[in-house]
Structure 1
Amino acid sequence: MNELKVFVSVGGTATDQQESFVRAVENRLRAEGLIPCTVGRNTFSSDSPLKTVVELMNNCSGTVVIALERKYFSNGIEKRGGPSEVPITNVALPTPWNQIEAAMAYSRGHPLLVIVEQGISTEGLLEPGFDWYVQVVELKTEALTTIQFNSVLASWKGKLSTADAKPMAKANPSEMTVSELIGNTKPSQLYSFVAAIFALVAGAFALGAKLHGG
């Protein structure tokens, strides 16, 4: 059975605890027969980060989001200067790439496995209530062996085989290259296309022979 690649959205780790947790997630994915792929961690390119993310994600069957603390504010103000201004304390935020990559994955139909460090502000696509389950966990390896985590992981993994990991097709087929057209054609459609070409060529030869003989 071929191993499936999965895109892992995670920022650069800041502490040993964060690094150990990310490695534990990667090892758990490998134990499930999956290949974790992360730009800047195990995948590198001379292209821009966003272009590299696009190319890598197009070759993956699903996405794992690991949201870790990147920024911490002990005190701050929300909606500063407005009538709804409120003080905020102890706010922890993950890398914005978690939001960007989660949105890109969802637009491609990737099954999403979202893991959020306890204490992180769950906003945007890290907020519960969307088409995926958000697991808020402590950064301990034990969190990856609970009944809840195992059940969510099994459910997510079961969706990978039906995920469409092909690159997003261009809107106008006339702008696509031959290789892109073939790459975005289903096998049954490709066979029909080839058969039609052969029939057309055979018909042309037959008509030419008839006219020549006449």
Structure 2
Amino acid sequence: MGKDVFLSVGGTANDAQEEFVQAVETRLRAEGLVPNTVGRNTFSVDAPLKTVEYLMDRCVGTVVLALERTHFPTGTERRGGEKEKVLSNTMLATPWNQIEAAMAYSRGLPLLVIVEEGVKHEGLLEPGYDWYVQTVPLNKDYLNSTEFNGVLASWKTKVSDTKPNGNRSKEEKSIEKMSVAQLIGSLKPAQLWSAVLALCAVIGVAFSLGANLIP
């Protein structure tokens, strides 16, 4: 019986994405780890966030797999301001990657962040935090590369020293809850703004779909 890990990944849009996600799941299982994803292999009548909380509390690590969810050929950032910027060929991942990464970090779960080539690095998908961000092609052969093997081995070492949040003492959980504030305090202004925008996008989707969200 392998150790449970949380896999943050949105619903795949095409065969290439699905094949890559399956390859990541297979690799994790080969390492003795069991990937758990809401809406993929775990389903519940509860609200998505409650299900995510339940899963994370029995996991010892989190993999964030940020794939293209939204694409637009042209656009404008900070429209109408002095820092207005024209964007082109922009790819964004699901905002759930941001939410679940923050939830995992607040629980002290080791993070392994994998970002599809071309997807915009923003918020918690940016390098410079307590985890290494890998930018990868949608090619399952990359999962056998020297870089990926090295980062996976390092992350797995941290995972082996972690116990599920549900098994921790009240004192440990109390300390971990403080890390949310610590995380926000460590963000640079641009990074904090990116994370806020991602959360606003989730709220917008919730209203437009009647709050019927599926990760």
Measured against the shorter chain, the TM-score band is: 0.7 to 0.9
Q: Report what 1:147 is aligned to.
A: 146
Are the equivalent residues in 2 in contact too, given 1:6–1:35 (CA < 8 A)? yes
The whole-number CA distance in structure 2 between the counterparts of 1:117 and 1:165 is 28
* Mapped pair 1:95 → 2:81: no
Q: CA deviation at 1:87?
A: 1.0
How big is each residue's C-alpha offset from its partner over 1:121-160, in whole Å with a ceiling of 9 and x where there is no partner?
A: 0101110111111110000011100011001001100111
The whole-number CA distance in structure 1 between the counterparts of 2:32 and 2:63 is 15
Query: Superposed, which structure 2 residues align to 1:63-142 within 5 Å?
Result: 63-142=62-141
Point out the structure with max Rg over C-alpha: 1
Q: CA deviation at 1:84?
A: 1.6
Are the equivalent residues in 2 in contact too, given 1:108–1:165 (CA < 8 A)? no
Let me know the Cα RMSD of the aligned residues: 1.7
Q: Report what 2:180 is aligned to.
A: none
Q: Report what 1:28 is aligned to.
A: 27
The whole-number CA distance in structure 2 between the counterparts of 1:86 and 1:28 is 40
How big is each residue's C-alpha offset from its partner over 1:5-44, in whole Å with a ceiling of 9 and x where there is no partner?
A: 0000000000100000000000000000110000000000
Q: CA deviation at 1:85?
A: 1.3
The whole-number CA distance in structure 2 between the counterparts of 1:158 and 1:149 is 14
For structure 2, which runs of at least 5 residues remain unmatched after alignment?
Answer: 175-215
Output the amino acid matched with 2:17. Answer: Q
Are the equivalent residues in 1 in contact too, given 2:66–2:116 (CA < 8 A)? yes
Output the amino acid matched with 2:69. Answer: R
The whole-number CA distance in structure 1 between the counterparts of 2:49 and 2:74 is 32
Are the equivalent residues in 1 in contact too, given 2:2–2:29 (CA < 8 A)? no
Q: CA deviation at 1:83?
A: 1.9
Q: Report what 1:56 is aligned to.
A: 55
TM-score, structure 2 normalization:
0.77
How big is each residue's C-alpha offset from its partner over 1:166-213, in whole Å with a ceiling of 9 and x where there is no partner?
A: 249499x9xxxxxxxxxxxxxxxxxxxxxxxxxxxxxxxxxxxxxxxx
Q: CA deviation at 1:164?
A: 3.7
Are the equivalent residues in 1 in contact too, given 2:56–2:165 (CA < 8 A)? no
Output the amino acid matched with 2:62. Answer: T
**Cα distance change of structure 1 residues 54 and 169 upon mapping to structure 2, 3 Å threshold:** farther
Are the equivalent residues in 2 in contact too, given 1:69–1:95 (CA < 8 A)? yes
The whole-number CA distance in structure 2 between the counterparts of 1:53 and 1:81 is 38
Are the equivalent residues in 2 in contact too, given 1:72–1:92 (CA < 8 A)? yes
Equivalent residues, number: 171
The whole-number CA distance in structure 1 between the counterparts of 2:158 and 2:70 is 33
Q: Report what 2:191 is aligned to.
A: none
Are the equivalent residues in 2 in contact too, given 1:6–1:62 (CA < 8 A)? yes
Are the equivalent residues in 2 in contact too, given 1:61–1:165 (CA < 8 A)? yes
The whole-number CA distance in structure 1 between the counterparts of 2:23 and 2:98 is 22
Identity, in percent, stands at 62
By relative contact order (CA 8 Å, sep 6+), the higher-ranking structure is 2
Output the amino acid matched with 1:147. Answer: T
The whole-number CA distance in structure 2 between the counterparts of 1:90 and 1:170 is 47
For structure 1, which runs of at least 5 residues remain unmatched after alignment?
Answer: 174-214
Output the amino acid matched with 1:78. Answer: E
More deviation in 81-90 or 60-69? 81-90
Are the equivalent residues in 2 in contact too, given 1:79–1:86 (CA < 8 A)? yes
Are the equivalent residues in 2 in contact too, given 1:7–1:38 (CA < 8 A)? yes
The whole-number CA distance in structure 1 between the counterparts of 2:85 and 2:146 is 39
